[in-house]
Structure 1
Amino acid sequence: MTVKVSSIGLKGLEGYRVQVEVRISPGTESMTIVGLPDASVKESRERVVAALSHFGADVTDQKVVVNLSPSEQKKNGPLFDLAIGIAALKELGMIESDVPRDTAFIGALSLDGTVEKAEGMLPALVSARELGLKQVYFPYDPFIPIHMLEGLDCVVVNHIEEVVNHLEGQSSLSFFPTPEQLEPTLSKIEPYSKDFLHVIGHEYPKRALEIAAAGEHNVLMTGPPGCGKSLLAETFPSILPSLTSKGQLEVMSLYQLAGEKRGVHHQVPFRHPHHSASSVAIIGGGSSPRPGEISLAHRGVLFLDEMAEFTKKTLERTWGRFSCPFW
């Protein structure tokens, strides 16, 4: 018999549904993960086996095969740990209830069975909602705005045993954290440190920036040093429309993938990279692909000060890839 449970894989910012299939049969003791897993996914073997021992599950003299479908998509990260563990427990008979098909499991496992947060959880949750899943089990993360994920039952867990008990109907879990835990993720309206309203004079460039804000145009400003170009650029975000809930989720997802912290607020992002930054830092990519400055300025402003100092390669790749104003 083969057990199937759902999880979410990421391809950049876009998520897709992953069917985690587990089959356990008598044979030489081993655990094999197939479906184009990278090294971080293959390491799930040790974490899952250690977590299973918490339930007294013995896989000695058992051959465990884990298939991550669709097999043509590369899998990375420890997000599948919890799903693999639940599927293995179901296959071993430790879970008698059926696992709903519209339920997904996201999170990394520690050796004692604790469910821990992993990189990319927010974009995975947003994708789960878009894919039509109704319920997701995942660990608590103070930087995930659960209150903004409408239409998705978010079940926050601390240990894999809590997941098992909840699936069996032996315990109830709150779909939302306590108000004290939720407070860091509540949307806040914060004033801009530099407001367009406070710029005195410069009527012509201010009029040009207002037109650029209305039409999402790119702007090139020239002039002698000290005439106010940088000040105008730094105050420009204050006249852009505030981020909607969807926009906030998109921007926060990009920042999480880049390993940067960003609170939940309505201010548009403002990025100001130095001209010595590499093309990879600005455009994104690398051996371990991460969003660059262009992506981190999504729905906001990318300010290229002293633009002539940037390399030709960087400017050519940047041009046409950014939909909002930059200098």
Structure 2
Amino acid sequence: MRLSILDQSPISSNQTAYDALNESMKLVQAGEALGYTRYWIAEHHDLPGLACSAPEVMLSYIGANTNHIRIGSGAILLPHYRPYKVAEVFNTLATLFPNRIDIGIGRAPGGSAEVTNALSENFLQQVWNFPILVKELLHFLDGDFPAGHEYSSISASPTPENPAVPWLLGTSKKSALLAAENGMPYTFGHFMSDNDGAAIIKGYIETFKPRKEQQTPQVIVTVSAICGETTEQAEEIALSNLIWSLQKEKGEGHQGVPSIEEAKKYMLTEKEMESLKTMRQNMIIGNPHEVKQKLFELQTNYQANEIMINTITYSPEDRIQSYKLIAEEVF
């Protein structure tokens, strides 16, 4: 099984954004040493507790401080940007770090309505145009606009020997079919979806149209997982993430991921207790054997080529230890 890392650069209640971004660096370095296939970093805007608003900046820093692990965005939120500029940025990264760059593409706003307005004009129109934006980006990355197209005479320089690999990220049938139509690898966000992911992936595989020779459907499933040496330890570590999720739903949690002690003191209503049960169902929490078993079940259910793990803990050491325990059990 191939395993990878999705990092949202969470800020714990005892950290600054500087601390969180540097912990992201330590995480990818640990992931590389442990044998993880790739590391993606997410894009969020003005969301308390999440440090990364510019994946392309962090990827430059990360690429310069790692050696071989694939690195990429999870995701660049394309409706905010012109495809040409995105292609230039990732062509530059692919030139600097050959055969290592992925460009994950998403359509979400990544922040509030006010942030969306500050980032881009006509966001909703650009979401509507998302299929056109995706096709345009692919043409810029491949340098293959048809003759006579308004952009056929320009290139998104520099031109790397091995272009960034474009992935489409989503949680819906619509996104999966768009990936299939364009011959793109697809990443399904299991950790943030209640949809029937297995059926969505089945539709993607069945309708896939290769964009290039010998291209086949490629599927990554992203899951939230926390592993401890024992089930009890994992449950305790996961409590910080779960309580923080509840706090964010209530418009709280601005101080970042709470400590385990703070999380234990949080007074839960009956409704919040039910919410916690639902959240746990979308997560994998357990000892190494339990986590491995659930990851393999997930891989089989989704027909996935790879599982990407998102882990949020209060302690950076607990986060790296979770990835370490999983790697030692699976690889």
Q: Compare the two structures and name the one with the higher helix fraction.
A: 2
Q: TM-score, normalised by structure 2?
A: 0.25
Output the TM-score relative to the length of structure 1: 0.25
Larger radius of gyration: 1
